[in-house]
């Protein structure tokens, strides 16, 4: 059964559109609540959000929808997505809900869901919720309405959790860190985590005003962090995204280190500490150089569909504990059930400290294959992917590349984007072939709203 509302990671869109508005979120809260109410016990939903102004509006609507059908709501306020997953488990919640559009621009917002075990919802649960959305909105009696309360110490609890993922014998004394909080949900929790572990921390983009989240900062725009690392003569830079489930890092020479490279560093560090077994899960977007690097050190590697939910599902199927995406979603089942930018970066800092090596040195065992990634903004990327001319163009490029490259063209599950990725023997070929596919795609739909190349 296809889904009408849910995408790769929950529901997301432009504020004020058919989905991201108070009416829909009121109905969504009621529908999710009715799905949870399978017994006489009153369910508990743990609800957090990022720093967008629209989050307050949507929070009120969701809260009302939950309460109207007899669901209790614990309000965490602005807090990272992985913190909601953590609090859902520790509070014995029936569901965790995050109002966020993650790395998307300020104009967007959305909602993500975790089950009672803090896993992203599966297709079956999402379909149940969508069926409930077709039923009339209703309210139970006043005496049975859900109770809503605030959890005042949620940030402090999550800070302690993050610190607890680092061995108590390890300190980051003398480590100069520049931290970019993307003016998002990590602004109040990330700085104390690194400082209390001993690092010398300089923060940037840690002053949210409700509209500057992800704006020329964070993991989507690490160029300013690169400049600051060089200016401060820092050892490392850490760029989180708006809701804190992604991380991109910067080495001491100002070089960007993406999720593939961080995944390699963490896996190798865990292997050296005898804390690693099995293999690593990446995605279709993971650079071919990552797969080769793991082959070189004897670590099995498998690819899942894009999206940390799919990564975790394959990890569980294989019985493995580590996986991630090029974008910086990294999941270690030893510490979390979802991508956690703060905790993932801590594992990299541990590797630097324990091996007494720079970030650049730690990534030296992985050589990326030339890759070109172009994002094209179109109204209906799913239709574009299925267009016969686009399919023919993809097959033509694959034929020309042969065994020397890969092609992946897919619609984004979180934005109105067509993502075109080509790997080749050299950067020139990768760029030319990617541009050829983009050109055919734009001709097929006869429209162009915008084009951007990923970092």
Hey, which residues are catalytic here?
102
Contact 182, 104 (CB under 8 A): no
The Cα 369–Cα 405 span in angstroms is 9
Provide CB contacts within 8 A for 177, sequence distance 6+. Answer: 194, 199, 200, 201, 202, 234, 235, 236, 237, 238, 349
Contact 366, 289 (CB under 8 A): yes
- CB neighbours of residue 295 within 10 Å: 11
Contact 269, 260 (CB under 8 A): no
**Encoded tokens for 440:** 């055919």
Q: Identify which of 216, 270, 267 has the alpha carbon closest to the alpha carbon of residue 239.
A: 216
The number of helix segments (H) and strand segments (E) in the chain equals 15, 19
Contact 96, 125 (CB under 8 A): no
The Cα 151–Cα 38 span in angstroms is 25
**Encoded tokens for 47:** 């609800």
The Cα 222–Cα 229 span in angstroms is 11
Provide CB contacts within 8 A for 311, sequence distance 6+. Answer: 281, 282, 283, 304, 323, 324, 325, 329, 331
Task: Name all contacts of 365-368 with Cβ < 8 Å and 24+ positions apart.
Answer: 365/264, 365/268, 365/293, 365/296, 365/297, 366/260, 366/261, 366/264, 366/289, 366/290, 366/292, 366/293, 367/289, 367/292, 367/293, 368/260, 368/261, 368/287, 368/289, 368/290
Q: Write down how long the chain is.
A: 455
């Amino acid at each position: 059964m296809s889904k009408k509302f849910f995408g790769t990671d929950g529901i997301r869109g432009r504020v004020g559109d058919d989905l991201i508005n108070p009416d829909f979120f009121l109905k969504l809260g009621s529908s999710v609540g009715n799905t949870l109410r399978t017994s006489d016990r009153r369910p508990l939903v743990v609800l957090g959000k990022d720093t967008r102004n629209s989050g307050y509006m949507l929070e009120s609507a969701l809260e009302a929808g939950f309460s109207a059908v007899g669901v209790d709501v614990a309000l965490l306020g602005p807090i990272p997505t992985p913190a909601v997953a953590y609090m859902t488990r520790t509070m014995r919640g029936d569901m965790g809900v995050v109002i966020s559009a993650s790395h998307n621009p300020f104009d967007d917002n959305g909602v993500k869901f975790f089950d009672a075990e803090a896993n992203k919802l599966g297709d079956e649960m999402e379909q149940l919720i969508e069926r409930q959305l077709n039923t009339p909105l209703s309210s139970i009696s006043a005496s049975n309405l859900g109770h809503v309360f605030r959890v005042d110490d949620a940030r402090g609890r999550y800070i302690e959790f993050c610190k607890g993922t680092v061995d108590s014998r390890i300190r980051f004394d003398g480590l100069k860190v520049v931290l970019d909080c993307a003016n998002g949900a990590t602004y109040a929790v990330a700085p104390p985590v690194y400082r209390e572990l001993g690092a010398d921390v300089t923060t940037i983009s840690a002053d949210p005003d409700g509209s500057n989240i992800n704006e020329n900062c964070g993991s989507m725009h690490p160029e300013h962090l690169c400049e600051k690392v060089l200016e401060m003569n820092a050892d490392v830079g850490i760029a989180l995204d708006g809701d804190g489930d992604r991380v991109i890092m910067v080495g001491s020479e100002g070089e960007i280190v993406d999720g593939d490279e961080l995944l390699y560093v963490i896996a190798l560090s865990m292997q050296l500490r005898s804390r690693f077994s099995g293999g690593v899960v990446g995605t279709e977007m993971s650079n071919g150089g990552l797969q080769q690097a793991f082959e070189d050190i004897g670590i099995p590697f498998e690819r899942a569909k894009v999206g940390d939910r799919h990564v975790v599902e394959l990890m569980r199927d294989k019985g493995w504990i580590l996986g991630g995406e090029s974008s910086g979603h990294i999941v270690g089942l030893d510490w979390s059930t979802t991508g956690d930018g703060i905790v993932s970066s801590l594992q990299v800092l541990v590797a630097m400290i324990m091996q007494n090596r720079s970030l650049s040195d730690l990534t030296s065992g992985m050589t990326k294959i030339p890759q070109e990634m172009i994002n094209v903004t179109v109204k209906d990327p799913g239709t574009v992917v299925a267009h016969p001319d686009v399919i023919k163009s993809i097959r033509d490029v694959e034929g020309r590349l042969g065994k020397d490259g890969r092609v992946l063209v897919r619609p984004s599950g979180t934005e109105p984007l067509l993502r075109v990725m080509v790997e080749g023997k050299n950067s020139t070929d990768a760029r030319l072939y990617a541009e050829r596919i983009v050109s055919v795609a734009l001709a097929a739909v006869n429209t162009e709203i915008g084009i951007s190349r990923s970092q």
